[in-house]
Structure 1
């Protein structure tokens, strides 16, 4: 009986014979990564980025700012200094000072009041005329930092207590998914080592 190494045939267990690279494996992997990326994106643009930057997300409800900010778009409003409020800047402001209702329109002109204070003339991009009343600096919540189409609907859904519950569920789900992926990768690596070292 020859002892040449070429005559030794390694024994490989059936479950270790082929790596998990079939069509179904790739489909589930791609879908899971896509869902993970989409979830992280939604969480980032609607909750994380506004919170850490001190900005406020709003949902566009009318067509007055079409085509730039169509209905359903999410606009994230960042506080702005008076020097940043120039003609062409899209701002969100209180319709009436001290009241919660706001609108997002663009500054089209500035003017000086009788007391020397600057006021702002605004207009919706899709409107044919300027807004009726000049806007005072105290009414302006900030300028548009970024916008995401359709994400305003998600922002409306993620409100108040529901936002906290949903974010908590998402964080727990992502943590569980990460643990599963690490565990799965570890098992696969261990199986490959066993297969390579089998007699």
Structure 2
């Protein structure tokens, strides 16, 4: 069954604990998306997870700790979405429409699959801990966009390339909530509008 040095039972307890933490984080993402960070409570998160508040506190001391753990998970998954969007793609060899398909689709899919993401990272008063978690991945995304622009428009001055990348990211971030908010049967058309806006802005520069 087990031994004093740590056998089956300790490993099973550890696995159960990890599953419970994932359960709490899944529930917190749902609650943050529904109520927003400020109105969300640990009681609401525990209820969504189907556990008692006391059980929740065995894993997380407060809402901020839950948000930090959820932010870390979001950042890890977002990094994977960025890799899907940018890695192993020759942006010079394909047209602008395909560039937008390859970049926009996986990142939109991430936002749809993780509805609590915006509730944490789109806040103007984001706690410093969450800002620290998000800053590297945001900087990496901006760097990837700048590199793509530089590859397609090698003569573009560095300052203009940086500004173009920042504005393109802002357009994406501004329109993504509209994509997420519509019903599923309308989403493809709304994604098309998002790409149209990006095409209209980026076309004269890298089209």
Same fold (TM over 0.5): no
* Structure ranking higher in helix proportion: 2
What's the TM-score once normalised by structure 2's chain length? 0.23
* Structure ranking higher in strand proportion: 1
